[in-house]
Amino acid sequence: MQLCTKNAFRFKEQLECIHSVQGICLGGLFVSLYVVLSLFNIRFSEILEFRLAFLALAAAAFYGGPLMGMTVGIAGDVISFFVTPQSAPFFPGFTLTYAVMGFLFGIFLYRAKITPGRALIGGLTEFTISCTLSTLWLHLMYGMPWQYLLTIRLVKNTIALGVYTVLLFVFLNAFSRILGAAGTASKPVRS
């Protein structure tokens, strides 16, 4: 299995997709899905929560590549902050986190056949970003010791890795079938 998809770095093609009417409409739907999924976060504390919005980023990246994944990550995070109830102030570091996550999902998922291995790569991407960037932002926001945050978040993300991998596999396979049935896939899905 090739780690990066063959089309991941065709940015001109991805920009054309984003600027098409279909791409704009689907991008808006992905942002909306991100906001709705943000309402279903399972929060245990200020520093520990399970989030489902990454599924919208994965779907956007699967459909439109790294650029659409990044765009949906930025727009989704900003809009969901203002739409959903928040207990913390806006912090742009988290917007950067979801932009990077959406971009990396595009590198691994864009027009790829969704296999358990590819879903695991997506789960590991979420795991790595959550353990590094998100932990750094929480450290900067709350001043908690880095080692304490990293320990708690490693445990949480290790548990979440399996759940997120299964969710990615099931969700993206279903999304792939929907795209195929609707005839919206601009080109056939490749492995």
Q: What is the pLDDT of residues 142-165, one digit of tens each?
A: 888 888 889 988 988 898 899 899
Share of the chain above pLDDT 90, in %: 50
Q: Across all residues in the chain, what is the average pLDDT?
A: 86
Residues 64-105 have pLDDT tens digits of 999 999 999 999 999 999 887 777 788 899 999 999 999 999
Domains of the chain: 11-182 (1.10.1760.20)
- Mean pLDDT, residues 129-152: 90
Once rounded to an integer, what is the mean pLDDT over residues 125-154? 91
DSSP string, 60-96: HHHHHHHHHHHHHHHHHHHHHHHHS--SS---HHHHH
Instruction: State the pLDDT at residue 9.
Output: 77
pLDDT tops 80 at residue 48: no
Segment 124-129 mean pLDDT = 94
> What pLDDT does 90 receive?
86
Structure tokens at 46: 């200020």
User: Higher confidence at residue 117 or residue 13?
Assistant: 117
Mention every residue, 6+ apart, whose C-beta is less than 8 A from residue 51.
37, 38, 41
Dist. CA 119–CA 61, nearest whole Å: 13
pLDDT computed for residue 184 by the predictor: 64
- Amino acid letter for position 157: N
The DSSP string of 12-60 is HHHHHHHHSHHHHHHHHHHHHHHHHHHTT-EESSSS-EE--THHHHHHH
**pLDDT in the model for residue 167:** 93
Q: What's residue 188's pLDDT?
A: 39
Q: Supply 136's token pair.
A: 């750094």
Q: Inform me whether the pLDDT recorded for 187 exceeds 60.
A: no
Q: Percent of the chain beyond pLDDT 70?
A: 93
